[in-house]
Structure formats: structure tokens, C-alpha cells
Amino acid sequence: MALALLGAHLVGGIRTQLTAPLPDAFALILLNPLTSAEPLPPKRFIRASAAWIEGAAEQTAAWDVPAVLSTVADAG
């Protein structure tokens, strides 16, 4: 979910650039059809992630989001 939310809030060509080194499964999630007109600042991204994760608090999202993004970075 964190990856889909990130993809939705990347604007311009950055989303496509980030998918280039990723495995197809991650790239497809990042390129999900949800789009936003503007990026989210980090604190709002954490809050939005917590809202997407059923039963999650902001603190849980603050732990989970970096783990997901780190895994994706390692995969790229």
C-alpha cells in the first residue's frame, strides 16, 4: 500500500524514472492509476499511509513505510 500511495503522489516524470530499475511487480504497483496533482510532504504521507492501513496508527505507518521503501530501494 505504501508503494501505491507513493506512486499516486509522485508528480511529473519522476514516477516513471523511479520504476526503471525496479522489478516489474514493484513497477506496476508504483505506476498504479491513482494520481495526484501535487506531492505529499513526509508527515502527510505517513498520515495518509496510516489511513490506508486498516487499524494502523501514525506510529505504525512511521515504522512500516520506511521498511517498504527500503525494500524497494534494495530491489532496484
- Please state the rounded mean pLDDT for residues 3-25: 81
What does the domain layout of the chain look like in residue ranges?
2-75
Spatial CA neighbour of 27 closest among 72, 70, 61, 74: 72
Q: What is the pLDDT of residues 32-70, one digit of tens each?
A: 777 777 778 888 888 888 888 788 899 988 988 888 888
pLDDT band at residue 14 using 50, 70 and 90 as cut-offs: confident
pLDDT band at residue 76 using 50, 70 and 90 as cut-offs: low
- What angle, rounded to 10 degrees, do the helices at 42-52 and 2-9 form? 130
Q: What is this structure's pTM? A: 0.66
- Please state the rounded mean pLDDT for residues 22-34: 83
